[in-house]
Chain A
Amino acid sequence: MTPHGATSTTEGRLLPVVDLYSAPFWEGTKKGKLRVQACATCGHLRFPPRPYCPACTSAEDEWHTMSGKGSIWSFVIAHPPVLDAYLAFTPYNVIVVELAEDKSIRMVGNLVSGDSNAPNSVDTSKLVVGSPVQVTFETVTEDITLPLWTLDEP
């Protein structure tokens, strides 16, 4: 099932294939940086990464490091049936975060406690739309470090 050259794990966890356009993002997370593609011509931020800027159609790009701060735009609590690799965590959360620098840049992630990277490590009552969050990283394989999020409590 796994395409040639793809990243996978033995645990059945789903992982992204790194491609030409997403590589700088995944290079960034490996170094503990949350980077977003920006147009080198007009400065417009875009995510997910793609060849052209939707604002000005320039193909010139650069990568900007974000502060890693954002807020919960929405969330779900997933219950079975799910894939086997995710079953032990049910019910677990998945969140969408809007970034502090630009609220139209949103990323999917999990809210985790920080002591644990498990997607069920935060009590579900802590999930509130609008709550501030801070990025953290989980090294999953040699190639893939996933951004995760913790509550950014004062």
Chain B
Amino acid sequence: MGEHVGASSPRFNLAGRVRGLTTHVADEPVGAAAHVALHRSTVPHARIIEVNVDDALATPGVYAVVTGDDLYKQLGERMLTGPAFADQPCLAYDKVRYVGEPIAAVLAADLATAREAADAIWVDYEELPAVYDLSDALDGDTYVHEELRPSSVFADLRHLHGIRDTNVNYEYNLRTGDAEAAREAGAMTVSGEFWAPPTHHVPIELPCTVAWVNAGRLEMLTTTQTPSYVRQSVADLLELPLSRVRITTRPLGGSFGSKMYDRLEPLAAALAWTTGRAVRLLASREEAFLLTTRHGAAVTASLTTDEDGNLVSSIADVRYDTGAYADVGPRITAKSGMIAVGPYRVDNARIRSRCVYTNKPSAGPFRGFGVPQVTWAHESLIDELARRRGDDPVEFRRRHLLREGDVAPMGTTMHSADFVGCLDAVAEALDWGTPLENTGGRIRRGRGVAVGVKAVLTPTIANAVLQLNQDASATLLISTVDMGQGSDTIMAQIAADVLCMDPARIHVVQADTDVTPYDTITAGSRSTYHTGNAVRQVAEAMRDKLIALAAEQFGTSEVTLDADGLHAGEQHVSLPDLVRARFGARGATLTTEANFTTQWTPYDKETGRSEQVTEHWFAGAVGAQIAVDTATGRVHIEHLAVAGDVGKAINPRLVEQQLTGAAIMGIGHALFDQLVVDQGQLTNGTLLDYQLPSSKDLPDKLTPLVVESPHRTGPFGAKGVGETGILAVAPAIANAVRDAIGVRITELPLTPEAIVTALQQRDSSEQEDR
């Protein structure tokens, strides 16, 4: 390892970011594009009888009005897209399935005109009974979709095609040992009904897509984390070869899972292609709330010990509310269902995890990919079990946590997942062994911990191309999208480390599918490991190439590369001279390419188990010290410690920022963040109503803790960290509340109202006991 990996180098273009000089998608001049506004459904579930666009078309400045039916006539069922299920039309054509679903698009000279004309459209509906929540969906006889339509992306979903009369689009089952019998035979069981509400990502940058047709090609500039996916999706939609679709991006102003798969892109492509006009779609904040959400999830679960305190049974029934369209919900259901036991040794486990349609805005990926919702359940349960047994919650977890080489309940062996190290780190930061001072009165203090586990997205593909320029600078072509996580910074560090070059001389090209090679997605904390490995390999290939060139020139194979150039004994040549000698030209380039692909063993359909369900694991722990005001129910966080095992920190400063940033987002989920949907209507979808953490919600002290348990095939041992810090925040805080006031709350968020209500219930039941 050289001097760049492991260094806390400043973030790429930091001064530019501070002064606002970074160009984002909506900042790009686009020429004469039509501005697009959408007419949206006012009802949650209905047949569309008629869409009347006459008044909209007559509005001065309107170029065109396009309805779902217009697109269906041209594109047929190809207009149904989605990463797991091809169930979502970019404009509704036969039915609407949630309040706010787009039905018609107005293209106009300016956005104000487009919006005015969109308001002038009226729709005649035949209303249908609606499915408002999980119990309607699972127990009722109204179905959001006539039949299931798995997409072609995931081969293992094909068997679901055509299934009717259900709102469950996917079910994952984990069966190991006999969990029911073990629970019966056990000495102590705790159980609970847990609820984590739907929430929203709210990256401050709003989604924006510009699409146009150029020389028979569909070209697009868009706010996406998934340019390679979008290229395929648009090519399928328009029946074009991939070479005739170009997707370009800019750095994103945050995303957290909201700007991936099919958002504005299919509609923009369809409108540009069918009208021949350049179109610009810019979501307002209110519209952005409808594009995707985080799944609300209900978990009914139990955890059992035998008399010696061994964990003998874990049972959970997990239901994800995926809204009107499946998006990647089926994947979330499986990937979080498989770890719903938590990072513990439990011989008998039974998990049922279902993805359920309702007539609400669609839910999709969100930092953590469904795992925080099940972590909420398993970390509340094990904590309650420890406390009821009179065991220390840290020691009790420690006893049962998976260690290196252990086989987890879903069948995969643990490696580079130091749960114990993370837990010990947060316990030490909180000074766990020293009792907290509680002086009585209305303020009660408490401490809690929680541990999280998540699998990295597997299988995936990363590619990298490196051009070494004759002047000893380099251009790195990858399709990873920098959205604040710092990929442009660390990928340059990795390449620079191999090539003994200043990272500032390596430019990372913004994803452009005409230029940068295929990369599955920038998501699931996968880029550091996957793309990082491809970048390391492409740089090593370049190093080998340079050494071979020098060996030719020196007449010896004993060549080394360092910051000054290439050496063999007394002989020396600088990089610029070496490349110039090879080509006889200034400005020439040398090119290398590399691929890094991971494989998995699909889980067994009956048991849900697999020997290799993922390439690697993320391990994290959170410790919280809080004070509850028992009069107002307000929770004040005195200290939040957040630990993540990152294998090896390529850039420790950026790793710490990912940990603390995720923890702050998690504070919102723990204490106040939630989407409120009433009778299918989103009631708090503006930033006046939707509460997010601000500088005033920071803990008095926030401690990031970087744990490094190197991964045997990670680049320099590294793994990602984008999600690790968020997994266990809410249960750590709730466990601290339990410690402070003796009340176990199972529904998020822990609002002052929820805490006061729980205290009143505790007091009234104590009175009844007397």
Q: Do A and B come from one complex?
A: no
- Listed in ascending order, the chain B residues whose CB lies under 8 Å from chain A are none
